[in-house]
Structure formats: C-alpha cells, structure tokens
Amino acid sequence: MVNMMSEMKFTKDHEWLLINGSQATVGITEFAQEQLGDVVFVELPEVGSEYDQGDEVAVIESVKAAGEIVAPLAGTVVDVNEELADNPELVNESPLQDGWFVKIQLKDGVDLSELMTEEQYKEFTAD
C-alpha cells in the first residue's frame, strides 16, 4: 500500500484519511508527528467501538506530552494498527504509511465536505 498525499484528505486536527469506499484509514500528518516529538506509547481503541465525529479514539504519548487522535468522521473501528504497540516510533518514521492508527467503517451519510485536500491542508499549516 503506497499512500499518496494527493489521494488523502486532511483535518484541522492534523489527521489524514484515506477513504476507500465506505472505509477510511486514519493517521496523523508529518506536521503533527513533528510537533509531537518522539512517540513512546500509543493507546488504541478496540475493534468494534463506535465513535461520533470528534470523539477521542486513541492516545499518543510522546517524550514531550500526551496527544489524542479524534474520530475525523463518525463510524465504527474495524481495524487497528497492532504494530504500534511494539513500535510506536512508526508514527514518527512513517506517519503517512506504516504509522496509521485505525480503519473506520464510516457511518452512512457522513459529511465529507469539511475535509481538506492536500493543497488546502498545506495552506492551513502554512499559517
């Protein structure tokens, strides 16, 4: 799987989504991992958990501070990146690919219009 930033969507919480049909893979952006610093622990949700948009889905602990992953859209977790338990540094090393967090089955009718394109996100982080 090669994630192309041009196929991704982005949120103001510095998360990316790769939407494939009704499922979305979710991770954090390069910008976010840099701000966070060295990640030492990731707490992932259980498969099957349901979230509304904005709910806390996962917790990231870096040497510096704790951060959270929020559900970018409402849905149900269908897969989590178990690799992160043993190798949380994947979030730093490969945030857009190997460092993904969860796959979410999106709720019917979720609103995708608020998501940013790569270009819009770049503009957003330039401020």
Partner 1 sequence: MTEELKTPLYDLHVELGAKMVPFAGYSMPVQYPLGIKGEHLHCRDQVGLFDVSHMGQLIIRGANVASALEKLIPVDLEALKPNQQTYAVLTNESGGILDDLIICKWDEETFFLVVNAACKEQDIAHLQSHLKDFEFEILEDQALLAMQGLKAAALMQELAPQACELTFMNGCHSEIDGMPVYITRSGYTGEDGFEISVANAQAEKLARLLLSYKQVEAIGLGARDSLRLEAGLCLYGHDMNTETSPIEASLIWSISKTRRAGGEKEAGFLGSARVLNDIAEGVSRKRVGFLVEGRVPVREGAGIFDADGNQVGEVTSGGFGPSINAPVAMGYVPASLAKADTKLIARVRNKDIPITVAKTPFVPQRYFRG
Does 40 bind partner 1 (CB under 8 A)? Our answer is yes
With tokens 């957003």, the residue in question is: 124
Does 64 bind partner 1 (CB under 8 A)? Our answer is yes
What is the C-alpha to C-alpha distance for residues 53 and 50, in angstroms, rounded to an integer?
10
Does 67 bind partner 1 (CB under 8 A)? Our answer is no
**Shortest distance, position 114 Cβ to partner 1, whole Å:** 27
Does 66 bind partner 1 (CB under 8 A)? Our answer is yes
Radius of gyration in angstroms for the set of CA atoms belonging to the chain, rounded to a whole number: 13
Q: Order across the sheet with 23-28: list the strands.
A: 9-10, 15-20, 23-28, 102-106, 75-80, 50-51
Does 63 bind partner 1 (CB under 8 A)? Our answer is yes
Give the residues lining the site for partner 1 (CB under 8 A). Answer: 37-38, 40-41, 43, 59, 61-64, 66, 88
